Amino acid sequence: MRMSQILGRRWRAQNAQREAVSHQLLLRAGYIRQHAAGIYSYLHLGLRSLRKIEAIVREEMDRSGAQEILMSVVHSADVWKRTGRYDEVDETLVRFKDRRGRDMVLGMTHEEIVAELASSDIRSYRDAGVVLYQIQTKFRDELRTRGGLLRTREFIMKDAYSLHLDEDGMAEAYRTQAKAYERIFQRLGLRDVHEIRSDTGVMGGSVAHEFMCLLEVGEDTVAFCQACGGAWNTDVARGDRCDTCGGEVVLRRGVEVGNIFQLGTRYTDALGVRATDRNGRSRSVFMGSYGIGISRLLATLVEQHHDERGIALTASTASFGAHLVVLGDSGDRLGGIASDLYAQCASGGIEILWDDRDVRAGEQLADADLIGAAVRVTLGRSTLDDRQVELRERRSGRVHFVDQSEVAGALTALLDEMKEREEVAASPE
């Protein structure tokens, strides 16, 4: 991709009213643009990083045995009325009537729709034990939005649901999804994430946990034990000492990046879902629910991975693998080399962004740091003198010099090495 073809200007100035660093940087780098309160458009750079986050989530969900589907955004209010949530949920649930006067809602979550699917497709033990997931845009009419993508009204979410004939099956799926979440956050390079016990809230059920990333910009409060590292949502924490080890509990701020629920039979019983077991007896169907905020993850990652110059995401989530800049007025010779390198990298499957604009070198370098591609590829006087091309890793600042004929191969090897390095660093000790 050529920068001259990308929609989205880079902004130099910061806005003091935007309290989250991620909000500042995603706007300034041209990743997102605000349409209305809590509603954003994702420009090319932002969408590329989102798709990489989604890819990691998909890989781990598929690895866990889940199957991807896609459900409707608009729901008939009938199923919400049958579960009782049509009246229980506040104004965050958008209710409206279609042209025929039927009550409808915008899907903010899909427990009712999954239970409805189960009513037609889960008939016996042979059909149960499945996990369904989707990645979809949802809408909750939040009273208050803040922090850019950290709390929005329209957002991208991975929501998953499991269906079982007993509580043991539900509990096993619950543990499997928790492990999948741990792998997802590790692969994304998200640090300081804690699985904490939480209240079930309007979702209902018997057990719930949140995955909380400890960040000062977060609006949730976590009770954190300084001795054993245990953490609890303040809704379920009691006292100033840890029940497990007796250590002192301190309060930390956090961003909820995922949640899991053992729902039991609340939704399936309400919609009359029954299935026969191996002995032919009719049984209730148990459900689990598992959510990850995809767009919120983008903001949370930027909160953790940035510096004073701009965004510095991991090689696995950066918008581009490489960013090609040409320094100095060297006429057609450097331009020709840049064109050849760009073509070689693109044909070799390297995601490369070429700054082909007629702007000063300082602006090119500043924009490269702000955008945060994994590696900056710099052509300059040394390229003409001795054919040397500089490869600079955005996050570590490490510099490698390679011959211009070896750039594509060296880039491929370097990006692979960076991803492996990041995976090792993210793995638990």
Q: Which helix (H) or strand (E) holds 253?
A: strand 249-264
- Whether residue 65 is predicted with pLDDT greater than 60 in this model: the reply is yes
Instruction: Categorize the per-residue pLDDT at 240 as very low, low, confident or very high, splitting at 50, 70 and 90.
Output: confident
Tokens of 119: 């009513």
pLDDT at residue number 236: 62
CATH 3.30.460.80 fits 310-426, yes or no: no
pLDDT at residue number 379: 93
- Whether residue 233 is predicted with pLDDT greater than 90 in this model: the reply is no
Q: Is residue 209 within 8 Å of residue 195, measured between CB atoms?
A: yes
> DSSP secondary-structure letter at 2?
B
pLDDT at residue number 231: 77
Question: Position 418: which residue type?
Answer: M
- Whether residue 158 is predicted with pLDDT greater than 60 in this model: the reply is yes
- Closest residue by Cα to residue 130 from 279, 292, 275: 275
- Whether residue 331 is predicted with pLDDT greater than 70 in this model: the reply is no
Instruction: Categorize the per-residue pLDDT at 205 as very low, low, confident or very high, splitting at 50, 70 and 90.
Output: confident
Tell me the whole-structure pTM to 2 decimals. 0.93
Q: State phi, psi for 377 to the nearest 5 degrees.
A: -105, 115
pLDDT at residue number 89: 94
Calpha distance 20→10 (Å, rounded): 18
Question: Position 219: which residue type?
Answer: E
CA angle 284/72/37 to nearest 5° reads 120
180 Ramachandran zone, left/alpha/beta (phi>0; psi -120 to 50): alpha
Instruction: Categorize the per-residue pLDDT at 239 as very low, low, confident or very high, splitting at 50, 70 and 90.
Output: low
> DSSP secondary-structure letter at 241?
B
Is 275 exposed, middle or buried (CB count within 10 Å of its CB: 0-12, 13-18, 19+)? buried
Calpha distance 209→259 (Å, rounded): 6
pLDDT at residue number 228: 83
Calpha distance 123→347 (Å, rounded): 50
Tokens of 99: 């042209």
Least confident stretch, 185-189, 223-227, 363-367? 223-227
Give per-residue burial for 179-189: e unless 16+ CB within 10 Å, then b: ebbbbbbbbbb
- Comma-separated ranges of CATH 3.30.930.10 domains in the chain: 12-304
Q: Which helix (H) or strand (E) holds 212?
A: strand 207-214
Beta bridge partners of 213: 193, 255
Tell me, rounded to whole angstroms, the distance of Cα 112 from its chain centroid: 24
Tell me, rounded to whole angstroms, the distance of Cα 347 from its chain centroid: 29
pLDDT at residue number 17: 64
Least confident stretch, 3-12, 58-67, 104-113, 274-283? 3-12
Mean pLDDT for the stretch of residues 190-204: 83
Q: Is residue 90 within 8 Å of residue 54, measured between CB atoms?
A: no
C-alpha dihedral, 158 to 295 to 203 to 233, nearest 10°: 120
Question: Position 78: which residue type?
Answer: D
pLDDT at residue number 426: 66
Q: Is residue 62 within 8 Å of residue 68, measured between CB atoms?
A: yes
Q: Is 346 helix (H, G, I), strand (E, B) or coil?
A: helix
pLDDT at residue number 183: 95
Instruction: Categorize the per-residue pLDDT at 238 as very low, low, confident or very high, splitting at 50, 70 and 90.
Output: low
Q: Is the dihedral of CA 312, 313, 316, 321 positive or negative?
A: negative
Question: Position 359: which residue type?
Answer: V
Mean pLDDT for the stretch of residues 283-296: 97
Q: Is 426 helix (H, G, I), strand (E, B) or coil?
A: helix
Instruction: Categorize the per-residue pLDDT at 85 as very low, low, confident or very high, splitting at 50, 70 and 90.
Output: very high
- Comma-separated ranges of CATH 3.40.50.800 domains in the chain: 310-426
> DSSP secondary-structure letter at 10?
P
Q: Is residue 11 within 8 Å of residue 28, measured between CB atoms?
A: yes
Calpha distance 162→165 (Å, rounded): 10
For the stretch 378-416, pLDDT in tens is 998 888 888 999 999 999 999 999 999 999 999 999 999
Calpha distance 321→314 (Å, rounded): 10
Mean pLDDT for the stretch of residues 104-114: 96
Tell me, rounded to whole angstroms, the distance of Cα 402 from its chain centroid: 35
pLDDT at residue number 10: 86
- Whether residue 185 is predicted with pLDDT greater than 80 in this model: the reply is yes
pLDDT at residue number 8: 83
Question: Position 198: which residue type?
Answer: S
- Whether residue 237 is predicted with pLDDT greater than 70 in this model: the reply is no
For the stretch 11-62, pLDDT in tens is 877 776 677 999 999 999 999 999 999 999 999 999 999 999 999 999 999 9
Instruction: Name the percent of the chain lying above pLDDT 70.
Output: 97
Q: Is residue 213 within 8 Å of residue 254, measured between CB atoms?
A: yes
Instruction: Categorize the per-residue pLDDT at 199 as very low, low, confident or very high, splitting at 50, 70 and 90.
Output: confident
Q: Which fold has domain 12-304?
A: BirA Bifunctional Protein; domain 2 (3.30.930)
- Closest residue by Cα to residue 10 from 37, 44, 40: 44
